[in-house]
């Protein structure tokens, strides 16, 4: 009987140690996964910023690169054609417009764009 109690206590102790080890290991793996995902997102942002610098020079860009002016933020740039002005935002992979860019797009589509000539005397 004493042997069974000792054996049961030993099994419980081993089980508790295993649970603590498993928790520590899974917590460590979770931290590593979060770090990898952060790096991936960071690389995606860097890739996007680098790519958007070159898009106006690609064959697929529908406007002349000489007419494109890079802004960077809140939109990537503007194309100045002879008969129109085009606001441009470049996205790579599965990127989406942020809220500010969506608002700018809506203002442009609603034709809520103005000209301001500001003179300093």
The predicted-structure confidence for 54-108, as pLDDT tens digits, reads as follows: 899 999 999 999 999 999 889 999 999 999 999 999 987 778 999 999 999 999 9
- List, in sequence order, every residue forming a beta bridge with 77; answer none if it has no partner: 70, 88
For residue 39, how many other CB atoms are within 10 A of its CB? Answer: 10
Report the alpha-carbon distance of residue 98 to residue 14 in Å, rounded.
51
Domain boundaries, the chain: 2-109
pLDDT at 92: 75
pLDDT at 111: 95
Q: What does the pLDDT look like over 1-36, one tens digit per residue?
A: 787 887 888 888 888 888 888 888 888 888 888 887
Report the alpha-carbon distance of residue 50 to residue 35 in Å, rounded.
22
H-helix or E-strand containing 47? helix 2-54
pLDDT at 74: 94
DSSP per-residue string spanning 55-83: GGGSTT-SS-GGGEEE--SSSSEEEE-SS
Q: How many CA atoms lie within 13 A of 35 on its CB side?
A: 6
Mean pLDDT over 105-121 rounds to 95
Report the alpha-carbon distance of residue 79 to residue 56 in Å, rounded.
10
């Amino acid at each position: 009987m004493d042997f069974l109690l000792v054996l049961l206590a030993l099994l419980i102790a081993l089980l508790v140690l295993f649970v603590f080890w498993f928790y520590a290991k899974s917590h460590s793996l979770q931290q590593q996964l979060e770090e990898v995902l952060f790096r991936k997102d960071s690389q995606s942002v860097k890739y996007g910023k680098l790519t958007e610098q070159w898009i106006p020079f690609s064959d697929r860009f529908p406007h002349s690169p000489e007419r494109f002016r890079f802004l960077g933020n809140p939109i990537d740039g503007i194309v100045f054609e002879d008969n129109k002005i085009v606001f441009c935002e470049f996205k790579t992979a599965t990127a989406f417009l942020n809220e500010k860019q969506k608002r700018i797009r809506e203002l442009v589509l609603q034709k809520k764009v103005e000209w301001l000539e500001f003179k300093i005397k």
